[in-house]
C-alpha cells in the first residue's frame, strides 16, 4: 500500500511539472557537432525524460544480462531448499509416527534437494531403521561423525546399531568415545557401565559410575547402591589373594549398604582370619539385625578361632537374641546345637516350626537330630521324606527366575545389576547351571553322614573345622558282621539328586531323593 501511494505521488508530481512547463512557453536551442537543434521547452523536457528512461532501461538490461544467470540459479536453489526442508520436516514427523512409506518418500526428496542438510542425515537414519536397513542407517550415522554438531548423535546411533547386532565390543567403543567427548551424556555412562558390569570389569565400572555420579546422572542412593555391589564383588574376588584390599572394599560396601549380606560376610571372614574378633562380631551383629541370613550366623559362629562347638553355640545364641525371633535364628541355633550334640537345645529351637508341613531344612535338621540322639532310622527316614515335600530353602533368586546358590552382582540372564534377592525360589525358577547344584541352607554345612567341612569351603574363610565326632544318619546297633552299621557316605561324583540309602540289619531302604550339603559343595 505504501509503495502504491509512492508511485501515485511521483506520477502526480511529473504531471504537475509538465503542466507548469506547458504554461510557460519558450524555445531551447542545442548546438552540438555542427548541428543546430531548436525546439520548445516542453518538447525538450519530454525528450530529455525519454532519453533518461532509455539509458536506464539499457543499463538495467545490461546488468540483468550480467547477473541474471546467477540470480536465477540462486532462486532455483532457494526453492529447492524450501522443498527439501519441508520434506525433511514431514519425514521426521512421519518417522517419529512410524509411517514408513511417508518417511521413505520424504527421504528420497530430501536426498535430491538437500543432501548435505544435517537434519536430512537424521531422516536418512530414521528411515533406514524403519526399513530395517542396518547398513544404510550405519552409513548415515557415520556421516554424522563428520559434522561436529552431529557427532554425538552419530555415536549414539552407531552404539544402538552395534548393540542391536550383538556387536558388544563395537558398542563398547562407541560408548567410550561418546563419554570421552562429553562426560555429561547420561546415555553413554549408563551404557558403558552396563557393558563393563556384564564383562566383569568391576574397576572400570567403578570409574564410569564415578563419572555418572559427578554429573548427576544417578541419584546418590542409587549410585551408592551400585558402588556397594561392585565393591562387594571385588572383595569376594580378592579375599584370598589380597585380603587387606578386599577388607577395605567389603567394609566400604557394608557402610554404603548395611543390608548387603555378602559384604558383611566377607568382611567378617577376613577380620576373623586377621584375629580382629571384636570388629568382626560388631559388623556381623549389625548385619544380622538388619537382614537375618544363614551365612551371617555361620560366619559369626566361627568368628573366634579355636572355639569349641559349645562355645560356638553360645555365640550363635547371643547373636539370635540380638534380633527378632525368626526361622533363620532357630535354624542357626539348631545347626550349632547339633554341631555341639546339644540335641535338646536343637529340638527346642525347631519345635515352633514343626507343624503344618515344615520347611525342608527344618526336616533335614530333625532327621539329623533323630539319627544323632536316638539312633532312630525310622524317624530319620520320615523326616527325610517330609523334607522332600517341604518348602524349599531360600536361595539367591533374580527377578527373571534365575536361581543361584551363591550371590552374584548381576543376573547372568539379563545382566541387571543387584537383581538377586535371598528368598524362597518360585516354582518356575530356572537354576543357573554354572554355579548352582541345589538350594541349600548355608548353615547346613555338615552332611548327614557326619563329614567335616570341606577344605574348599573353610580355606581362607576364617572358619574352624568340625569336630572329629561324626553324626550318623541312621545306624543299627550291630551290623551283620558284628560291627556298627552306618550309612555309607555318598560318593563325591554323585549327581545333585542322588538317592540317600538308609541301611538296617534287615534291609536297605531307598529314601526320597536327598542331597547332602557336602556333596553340593564338592560339585561347585
Local structure of residue 410 (DSSP, 8 states): B
The angle at the Cα of 422, spanning 418 to 426, to the nearest 5 degrees, equals 105
Lowest mean pLDDT among 11-15, 39-43, 313-317, 411-415: 39-43
pLDDT at 119 > cutoff 60 = yes
What single string gives the DSSP state of each residue in 316-345? Answer: HHHHHHTS---HHHHHHHHHHHHHTT-HHH
Task: Dump the DSSP string for 448-481.
Answer: TT-PPPPHHHHTTTT-PPPPS----S-EESS-TT
CA distance 43 to 20: 13
pLDDT per residue as tens digits for the range 299-357: 999 998 889 999 999 999 999 987 778 899 999 999 999 999 999 999 999 999 998 88
pLDDT at 428: 58
Beta strands in 23-127, from DSSP E residues, in sequence order: 27-32, 35-40
Q: What is the pLDDT of residue 22?
A: 74
Tell me the three cell numbers of residue 508: 536297605
- H/E stretch holding 21 reads helix 2-22
Q: How do residues 229-288 score in pLDDT, each as one tens digit?
A: 999 999 999 999 999 999 999 999 999 999 999 999 999 999 999 999 999 999 999 999
Name which of 306, 299, 365, 376 is nearest 337 in CA terms.
365
Please state which of the ranges 44-53, 105-114, 160-169, 394-403 shows the lowest mean pLDDT.
44-53
What does each C-alpha distance from 483 to 7, 449, 475, 480, 487 come to in angstroms? 133, 17, 11, 7, 13
Question: What single string gives the DSSP state of each residue in 413-454?
Answer: TT--BT--EEEPPPTTPEE-TTT-S----TT--S-TT-PPPP
Question: CA-CA distance, 175 to 155, in Å (whole number)?
Answer: 7
- When the pLDDT of each residue in the chain is averaged and rounded to a whole number, the result is 79
Looking at residue 523, its pLDDT comes to 33
Summarised one tens digit per residue, pLDDT across range 430-470 is 544 443 333 333 333 333 333 333 333 333 334 443 333 33
So what's the pLDDT on residue 435? 38
Rounded Cα–Cα distance for residues 232 and 270 (Å): 13
pLDDT of 395 above 80: yes
Region 129-153 average pLDDT: 90
Beta partners for residue 36, in sequence order: 31
Is the pTM here over 0.85, yes or no?
no
Amino acid at each position: 500500500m505504501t509503495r502504491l501511494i509512492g508511485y501515485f505521488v511521483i506520477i502526480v508530481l511529473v504531471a504537475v511539472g509538465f503542466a507548469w512547463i506547458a504554461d510557460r512557453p519558450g524555445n531551447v536551442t542545442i548546438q552540438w557537432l555542427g548541428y543546430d537543434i531548436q525546439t520548445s521547452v516542453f518538447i525538450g523536457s519530454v525528450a530529455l525524460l525519454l532519453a533518461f528512461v532509455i539509458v536506464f532501461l539499457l543499463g538495467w538490461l545490461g546488468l540483468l544480462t550480467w547477473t541474471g544467470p546467477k540470480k536465477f540459479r540462486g532462486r532455483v536453489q532457494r526453492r529447492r531448499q524450501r522443498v527439501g526442508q519441508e520434506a525433511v520436516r514431514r519425514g521426521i514427523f512421519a518417522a517419529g509416527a512410524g509411517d514408513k512409506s511417508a518417511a521413505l518418500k520424504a527421504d528420497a526428496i530430501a536426498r535430491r534437494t538437500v543432501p548435505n542438510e544435517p537434519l536430512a542425515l537424521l531422516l536418512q537414519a530414521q528411515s533406514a531403521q524403519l526399513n530395517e536397513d542396518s547398513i544404510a542407517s550405519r552409513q548415515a550415522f557415520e556421516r554424522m561423525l563428520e559434522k561436529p554438531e552431529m557427532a554425538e548423535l552419530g555415536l549414539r546411533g552407531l552404539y544402538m546399531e552395534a548393540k542391536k547386532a550383538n556387536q558388544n565390543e563395537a558398542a563398547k567403543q562407541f560408548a567410550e568415545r561418546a563419554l570421552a567427548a562429553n562426560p555429561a551424556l547420561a546415555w553413554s555412562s549408563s551404557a558403558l557401565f552396563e557393558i563393563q558390569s556384564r564383562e566383569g570389569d568391576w574397576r572400570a565400572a567403578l570409574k564410569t559410575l564415578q563419572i555418572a555420579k559427578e554429573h548427576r546422572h544417578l541419584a546418590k542412593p542409587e549410585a551408592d547402591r551400585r558402588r556397594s555391589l561392585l565393591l562387594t564383588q571385588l572383595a569376594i574376588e580378592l579375599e584370598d589373594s589380597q585380603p587387606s584390599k578386599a577388607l577395605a572394599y567389603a567394609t566400604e560396601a557394608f557402610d554404603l549398604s548395611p543390608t548387603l549380606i555378602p559384604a558383611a560376610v566377607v568382611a567378617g571372614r577376613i577380620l576373623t582370619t586377621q584375629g580382629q574378633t571384636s570388629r568382626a562380631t560388631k559388623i556381623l551383629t549389625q548385619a544380622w539385625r538388619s537382614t537375618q541370613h544363614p551365612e551371617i550366623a555361620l560366619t559369626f559362629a566361627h568368628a573366634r578361632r579355636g572355639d569349641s562347638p559349645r562355645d560356638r553355640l553360645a555365640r550363635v545364641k547371643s547373636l539370635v537374641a540380638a534380633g527378632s525371633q525368626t526361622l533363620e535364628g532357630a535354624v542357626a541355633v539348631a545347626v550349632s546345637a547339633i554341631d555341639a550334640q546339644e540335641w535338646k537345645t536343637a529340638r527346642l529351637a525347631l519345635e515352633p516350626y514343626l507343624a503344618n508341613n515344615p520347611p525342608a531344612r527344618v526336616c533335614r535338621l530333625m532327621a539329623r537330630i533323630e539319627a544323632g540322639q536316638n539312633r532312630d532310622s525310622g524317624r530319620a527316614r520320615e523326616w527325610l521324606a517330609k523334607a522332600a515335600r517341604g518348602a524349599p530353602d531360600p536361595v539367591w533368586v533374580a527377578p527373571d527366575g534365575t536361581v543361584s546358590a551363591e550371590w552374584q552382582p548381576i543376573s547372568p540372564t539379563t545382566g541387571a545389576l543387584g537383581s538377586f534377592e535371598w528368598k524362597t525360589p518360585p516354582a518356575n525358577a530356572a537354576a543357573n547351571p554354572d554355579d548352582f547344584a541345589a538350594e541349600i541352607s548355608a548353615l547346613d554345612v555338615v552332611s548327614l553322614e557326619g563329614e567335616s567341612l570341606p577344605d574348599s569351603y573353610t580355606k581362607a574363610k576364617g572358619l574352624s573345622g568340625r569336630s572329629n565326632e561324626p553324626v550318623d544318619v541312621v545306624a543299627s546297633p550291630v551290623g551283620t558282621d558284628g560291627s556298627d552299621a552306618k550309612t555309607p557316605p555318598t560318593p563325591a561324583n554323585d549327581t545333585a539328586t542322588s538317592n540317600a540309602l538308609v541301611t538296617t540289619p534287615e534291609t536297605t531302604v531307598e529314601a526320597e531323593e536327598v542331597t547332602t550339603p557336602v556333596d553340593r559343595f564338592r560339585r561347585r
